Structure 1
Amino acid sequence: MDYVIRPVRADEWRQAKELRLTALRDPVAPVAFLDTYEQSVRRSDDYWRERTAGGSEDGDGAVRQFVAEAPDGGWAGSVTVLVERPDGDAVFGEAAAVHQTHVVGVFVRREVRGAGVADELFRAALDWSWSLDDPPVERVRLYVHENNPRAAAFYRRIGFAPTGATVPMQGDPTARELEYAITRTRS
């Protein structure tokens, strides 16, 4: 794999915006993201600057966005990790019972799916999560729509397991989002 997996830099908001808008045009976007292309394309450049800066290494440490950069500088995919603490508000689903991170915004361009890019993005997300030690992260979670079996199979393959927790899909309370998690193992 010729991609460099790294945190986004604050000044890369244009690339972050382009990748997010591409993700929101993907056929699975309605079950994969809690956002729409129509909403996002109307957001100001200041919004994209702030969003990208917040996920960079220079951000406040509560969010980290990782990108897969191709040799030509183009971005093949991205994943974002949110820190959730028991004394904080839940980003989605139940409030954290332990110190955990929450993976969101998973996207890999169609032309590189199956090439290991998603695996490497998740490796970076998990490594970063487990590196947080004040206090240590005990688990990493994510949610997947009940009608997104391809994503669910990928998450199981890399070690996530269904927890049994579910939440209604935003905008469609008849559909469910299923929680998957990996718990820190102690050696």
Structure 2
Amino acid sequence: MDCRVERIGPGDWERMREVRLAQLLDTPMAFMETYETALGHGEDEWRSRVARVSAEGSAGFAAVAPDGRWVGTMISFTPEPKAAVLVGVWTDPAYRGRQLGVTDALLDAILDWARAEAGAERLLLRVHEHNPRATAFYRRRGFDLTGLDEPYELDPASRLLEMALPLS
């Protein structure tokens, strides 16, 4: 892997904005907002997002290409004791694939954080029912469907499927 993984910090709001817009253009179904909505957010919103990612009980990681661009992200937070939730998952198409290892490296960073810092016993996520690439990645890494699902906010006819990975 020619990228490094680093923790997202409070000063990263411009890179967070840039990668979020790229995420929404690439895989709009994977996120809970539209490109147009994200494009309209001002600096205060982006600063607020990186502050939340940097807060106690949260962690965000970015895969950084040799030229300094973020080419992947994963974010996790702990909404309840002993459980962490994975959100904000994306890898630039040019950096996808098991042989490159970018997505695996990001998930490894999240898992290390969830176990060591968050004390989580399981990692949860929701994946769009029409995102087989993501579902296959999570299955390969040991996640299983829990049987729970919910409507996708931007298209209630679609479902978000819950997956879980035990961490103990």
RMSD, matched Cα: 1.3
The corresponding residue for 2:116 is 131
Q: Secondary structure at the match of 1:55?
A: helix
Select which of 105, 113, 124 maps to 1:120: 105
The 2-side partners of 1:62 and 1:36 are apart by 26
- What's 1:93 paired with? none
The residue number in structure 2 matching 1:176 is: 159
How big is the shift at 1:181?
Answer: 0.5
2:33 is the alignment partner of 1:50? no
Task: Indicate the residue corresponding to 2:126 in structure 1.
Answer: 143
Please list every run of 5 or more consecutive structure 1 residues that lacks an aligned counterpart in the other structure.
Answer: 87-98
After TM superposition, give the deviation of residue 72 of structure 1 in Å.
Answer: 1.8
* C-alpha distance in structure 2 between counterparts of 1:3 and 1:171, whole Å: 33
Q: Which residue of 2 aligns with 1:75?
A: 70
Name the structure with the higher helix share: 2
**TM-score in terms of structure 2 length:** 0.93
**Number of the residue aligned with 1:163:** 146
Cα separation, 1, equivalents of 2:123 and 2:35: 27
Decide whether aligned partners of structure 1 residues 171 and 72 sit closer, same or farther in structure 2, where only a CA change above 3 A counts.
Answer: closer
Q: CA deviation at 1:69?
A: 0.9
Q: Distance in 2 between matches of 1:147 and 1:167?
A: 14
Code of the residue aligned with 1:148 in structure 2: it is: N
Is structure 2 residue 96 aligned with structure 1 residue 101?
A: no
1:84 — aligned with what?
79
CA distance in 2: counterparts of 1:164 and 1:40, whole angstroms: 31
Displacement of 1:23 in angstroms is: 0.5
Q: Whole-Å Cα distance in 2 between the matches of residues 85 and 157 of structure 1? A: 26
Give the whole-Å Cα distance in 2 for the aligned partners of 1:35 and 1:126.
26
Whether the aligned pair in 1 keeps the contact of 2:33 and 2:154 (CA below 8 Å) is: no
Aligned residues: 166
Residue of structure 2 equivalent to 1:89 = none
- Equivalent-residue separation in structure 2 for 1:174 and 1:54 (angstroms): 30
User: In 1, distance between residues paired with 2:106 and 2:59?
Assistant: 12
The TM-score normalised by the length of structure 1 is 0.84
3-state SS of 1:159 partner: coil
Give SS of 2:147's match: strand
Once structures 1 and 2 are overlaid, which stretch shifts more, 166-175 or 74-83? Answer: 166-175
